[in-house]
């Protein structure tokens, strides 16, 4: 194990390790509890106060120089209260199992003044492979105000999606409760015992065997759009989790993820109204053009 002699003022071990390794405090706690990080050769509690002269031993498996990689982030708006970003597909919003770094939070943490180890300023989320608009709060008051609007269903989120099949009627509301799957805890499922989930949709254009839709979610359940449309027989194109294997578009067709894009955001904050729009990214636009030429 590598040894470091602590030279600072007294502080909790987990806080020191978090800064040393540039990881979240909860991640530091896990490494301390696993015995990868010790004080004076002994396994200790993450809350142990370290003082000047203490010898902290760190497993050779851990690279002290290793820093969390921050993705490139497209900030479309920023003021003293919020940051609005246009997220690329493939980017994770906050650390989770298998994704300890390279998240949007890694890129934005220095701009956000909220003391939360895992999800500072996160108002809502997008799946890793869903692109589009997100808003982050820079302070606690803004976070609470925006979360209140989501709870009161005044926070507007509109998506563009392409699904398999010809969706009829051309306008409608999907009202199907959703809950976490008992068989696979990483997935959600339609269930009469789930939480109320409402999705409004409108057909933009029909393609051969597919429908391009504008979708507004009234509630914000995990994977709501994907679960709802799969549940009524129109899975989102490219969705590997909720579509059948035969329904997934091959990568050479221009898309290697689900066709789902957060197109518009609308909300109010401290008396000011905000509205943002993000057009389809190139990979999704490419597939539409391919279908138009068929």
Here the CATH number for the domain that contains residue 49 is: 3.10.290.10
Q: Answer yes or no: is pLDDT of 213 > 50.
A: yes
Q: For the segment 217-264, what is each residue's pLDDT rounded down to a tens digit? A: 999 999 999 999 999 999 999 999 998 877 777 666 778 899 999 999
Q: Answer yes or no: is pLDDT of 78 > 50.
A: yes
**Do 139 and 9 share a structural domain?**
no
Residue 65 within any structural domain of the chain: no
Which is the catalytic residue, given 14, 86, 106, 127? Answer: 127
- Token pair of 20 as six digits: 């040393």
Q: For the segment 180-209, what is each residue's pLDDT rounded down to a tens digit? A: 998 888 899 999 999 999 999 999 999 999
Residue 67 within any structural domain of the chain: no
What's the whole-model pTM score?
A: 0.78
Query: If residue 89 lies in a helix (H) or strand (E), which one and from where to where?
Result: none
Angstrom distance (rounded) from CA 274 to CA 259: 26
The confidence score (pLDDT) of residue 292 equals: 87
Angstrom distance (rounded) from CA 176 to CA 204: 23
The confidence score (pLDDT) of residue 117 equals: 66
Nearest to 270 by CA among 153, 151, 156, 149: 149
Q: Give the confidence band of 67 by pLDDT, cuts at 50, 70, 90.
A: very low
**Do 125 and 11 share a structural domain?**
no
Give the chain's count of helices (H) and strands (E): 6, 16
Q: Answer yes or no: is pLDDT of 19 > 90.
A: no
DSSP string, 231-250: HTT-PBTT-TTTS-GGGSPP
**Do 228 and 252 share a structural domain?**
yes
Mean pLDDT check: name the lowest of 36-40, 98-102, 111-115, 185-189. Answer: 98-102
**Do 268 and 228 share a structural domain?**
yes
Annotation says 127 is catalytic: yes
Nearest to 63 by CA among 20, 7, 8: 20
Q: How many other C-beta atoms are found inside a 10 Å radius of the C-beta of residue 275?
A: 9
**Do 143 and 47 share a structural domain?**
no
- Token pair of 53 as six digits: 């002269």
Residue 173 dihedral angles phi and psi, to the nearest 5° = -125, 130
């Amino acid at each position: 194990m590598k040894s470091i002699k602590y030279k600072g003022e007294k502080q909790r071990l987990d806080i020191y390790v978090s800064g040393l390794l540039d990881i979240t405090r909860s991640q530091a706690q896990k490494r301390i509890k696993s015995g990868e990080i010790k004080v004076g050769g002994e396994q200790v509690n993450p809350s142990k106060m370290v003082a000047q002269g203490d010898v902290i031993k760190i497993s050779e498996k851990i690279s002290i120089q290793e820093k969390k990689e921050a993705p490139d982030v497209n900030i479309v708006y920023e003021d003293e209260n919020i940051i609005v970003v246009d997220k690329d597909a493939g980017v994770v919003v906050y650390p989770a199992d298998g994704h300890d770094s390279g998240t949007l939070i890694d890129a934005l943490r220095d701009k956000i003044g909220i003391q939360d180890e895992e999800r500072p300023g996160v108002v809502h989320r997008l799946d890793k492979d869903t692109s589009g608009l997100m808003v982050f709060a820079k302070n606690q008051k803004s976070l609470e105000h925006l979360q209140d609007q989501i709870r009161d269903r005044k926070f507007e989120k509109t998506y563009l999606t392409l699904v398999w099949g010809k969706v009829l009627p051309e306008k409608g509301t999907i009202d199907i409760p959703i809950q976490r799957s008992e068989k696979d805890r990483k997935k959600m499922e339609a269930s009469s015992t789930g939480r109320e989930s409402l999705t409004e949709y409108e057909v933009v254009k029909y393609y051969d065997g597919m429908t391009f839709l504008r979708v507004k979610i009234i509630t914000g359940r995990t994977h709501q759009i994907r679960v709802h449309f799969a549940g009524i027989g129109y899975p989102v194109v490219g969705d590997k989790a909720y579509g059948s294997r035969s329904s997934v578009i091959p990568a050479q067709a221009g898309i290697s993820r689900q066709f789902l894009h957060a197109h518009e955001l609308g909300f109010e904050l401290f008396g000011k109204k905000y509205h943002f729009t993000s057009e389809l990214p190139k990979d999704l636009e490419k597939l539409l053009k391919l279908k138009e030429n068929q």
